[in-house]
Amino acid sequence: MEAQTYSRITTKSLQQMKSNGEKIAMLTAYDYTFAGLVDASGIDIILVGDSASNVMAGHETTLPITLDQMIYHASSVVRGASRALVVVDLPFGTYQSDSKQALRSAIRIMKESGAHAVKVEGGKQSKDSIERIIQAGIPVMGHLGLTPQSIYKFGSYTVRAKEDNEADQLLNETVMLEKIGCFGIVLEKIPATLAEKASKSVKIPIVGIGAGRNVDGQVLVLHDMLGMIKEFSPRFLRRYLDLDKIICQAISKYSEDVKSKDFPNEKEQY
């Protein structure tokens, strides 16, 4: 399947990609410089994930990041991306109280960052909030399976929906999210056969992370796939670089050059 060229990816083009059998490539980014590189490399969706709480701020979970912090990251990413669709996570505590709170949070993200869509974790418990956001004209991506904002409810990051009742619930919620108007769904860390079933049961694209190959696209956290952070090593993570080593070598060489008085030389001064 030859990839089509799109000047700006929209929720419509993603739908078209699914119906053409063209896989969707999605990655996270949290700042202007990386967003520019990710965008120039042909990634279709840039997710300003609340994983910023982990990889940018060093928190153990995604719970502490605030709406203001997400808006700061998102507006930096939007300035760096000219082709990709920019989707921003609604952080923990900004949509669970009621659907009015959810709409207010989504509107702030869209107005203050210039992003194109939001992502909301959860199935039936998030239904009212998602519906209200979509009614206001804001595209929503769902997120089912392992939902990191509920980590303290589940107690672990193990594979979700292995039991029949949980698997049935996930399939029902996938169909429900399509019905209420989500333009796509992220499925995280669930059995590959279940993810394939979910993808076949809806027309909207299913983007997987640890959900096998028979879905409509894949998403990874940028810092993990570049090998900048090594503490996190789930089976689904493919590392494309050991960027930590490359960066540390360059920085150590700079430090050595400063201390040995090799840097700056005569040509590097005024």
Determine the interface stretch with ligand KIV among 14-22, 34-42, 49-57, 193-201 (rule: CB under 6 A).
49-57
Name the residue among 130, 125, 197, 129 with its Cα closest to residue 161.
197
Q: At what angle do helices 164-179 and 192-200 cross, to 10 degrees?
A: 30
Q: Does 89 bind ligand KIV (CB under 6 A)?
A: yes
Among 78, 120, 221, 226, binds ligand KIV (CB under 6 A): 221
Q: How far is the CB of 63 from ligand KIV (least distance, A)?
A: 12
User: With contact defined as beta carbons under 8 Å apart, do 185 and 145 qualify?
Assistant: no
Does position 94 bind ligand KIV by CB under 6 A?
Answer: no
Burial of residue 12, with CB atoms counted within 10 A of its CB: 0-12 exposed, 13-18 middle, 19 or more buried: exposed
Stretch that binds ligand KIV, among 14-22, 42-50, 168-176, 261-269 (CB under 6 A): 42-50
Q: Say if CB 53 and CB 78 are below 8 A apart.
A: no
Which residue type, as a one-letter code, is found at position 30?
A: Y
The smaller minimum CB distance to ligand KIV, of residues 178 and 188, is found at: 188
Q: Is 163 an annotated catalytic residue?
A: no
The single residue among 49, 91, 122, 208 that binds ligand KIV, judged by CB under 6 A, is: 49
Strand-pair partners of 186: 143, 207
Question: Which is the catalytic residue, given 188, 196, 256, 266?
Answer: 188
In the complex, which residue's CB is closest to ligand KIV? 49
Residue type, 40: A
> Which CB, 43 or 221, lies closer to ligand KIV?
221
* Residue of 77, 85, 186, 202 interacting with ligand KIV (CB under 6 A): 186
Residue list 11-30, contact with ligand KIV (CB under 6 A): 28
Distance CA 51, CA 69 (A): 12
Q: Which is nearer to ligand KIV, 47 or 103 (CB)?
A: 47
The residue whose two tokens read 């008085």 is 261
Which of the stretches 45-53, 99-107, 163-171, 195-203 binds ligand KIV when contact is defined by CB under 6 A?
Answer: 45-53
Close Cβ partners of 114 (under 8 Å, ≥ 6 residues apart): 74, 75, 78, 86
CB of 217 to ligand KIV, least distance (A): 11
Measured between its terminal Cα atoms, the distance across the chain in Å is: 54
Does position 51 interact with ligand KIV (CB under 6 A)? The reply is yes
Residue 50 in the binding site for ligand KIV (CB under 6 A): yes
Given 70, 202, 219, 226, the residue binding ligand KIV (CB under 6 A): 219
Length of the chain: 270
Per the CB < 8 A criterion, the answer to whether 226 and 242 are in contact is: no
Q: In whole angstroms, give the CA distance from residue 102 to residue 199.
A: 27
Task: Name the residues annotated as catalytic.
Answer: 188
Residues in contact with ligand KIV by the rule CB under 6 A? 28, 47, 49-51, 89, 186, 188, 209, 219, 221
